[in-house]
Amino acid sequence: MRRPRGLIGAALQYGHIKTKVTLNYAANDDDSWLDDLAVERLEMALEQSEDDWTRLEEDHEHVSGPAAADYRRCTAAAATFLGRTVQAKASVSRLLVQADTDIHHGEGMTCVYSAETAACRKERLLLGLPAADGPDDSLCRSTCGDLAYTDRDIAEHRKRVPVLLKEAHDPMTPRPRRDRAAVQADRIPSLIDQHETSSRSEAVQTNGGQVT
């Protein structure tokens, strides 16, 4: 899905905003190409899980936020996957259930998606929209309990602060955008502080109460 000739590549070629539209363009006579997409999705899930686990265990990446514990649990569970022989599309679907952590890395945040607690899903239902099978970035809320923040996310936020401050004080920027940038710039330092505080606390616990 994220490689050349994958679903996203096809969507870009046809100028589709949603990949679901691209799927609807598929011919009814031959849909075997969907099998390839299913395999690519499984490969993507496995590669992401391996990368997340390596960062947690070998690089000691810190994770904060309301879904931090779920992030660690899901990543650890996926790390036990040893691989299977795939001979049919049905096998890919079953393996996805085992290997896909439903963790979605976004811009400055990580979603550990759970349909029961996802704020974006609740918002969609309130708007009378059909419930999606994954997170909706356009309806993401900073108060959502499915959010976690990795060191990568925090590094992204550090880069965003000066950009937001510049936009907030730029008289050429429309007032709504300036106000929004100012609110975001004010919120980010608190988010960074919470991440660093929890990181220090975790380090103390790991070292048996000794500050290093």
pLDDT-derived band at 73 (thresholds 50, 70, 90) equals very high
- Give me the mean pLDDT over the 68-91 stretch: 76
pLDDT 10s digits, 99-113: 678 899 998 999 999
Pair 179, 158: CB distance under 8 Å: no
- Contact partners, residue 165, CB within 8 Å, separation at least 6: 181, 185
Tokens linked to 149: 């923040």
pLDDT tens-digit series, residues 38-53? 777 778 888 888 899 9
Average pLDDT over residues 59-80: 92
User: Quick check: 187 pLDDT over 90?
Assistant: yes
Length of the chain in terms of residues written: 212
| Residue 212 pLDDT | 47
91-95, 154-158, 179-183: lowest mean pLDDT where?
91-95
**22 pLDDT above the threshold of 70:** no
Task: Check pLDDT > 70 for residue 2.
Answer: no
Report whether 160 contacts 192 (CB < 8 A).
no
More confident residue, 185 or 83: 185
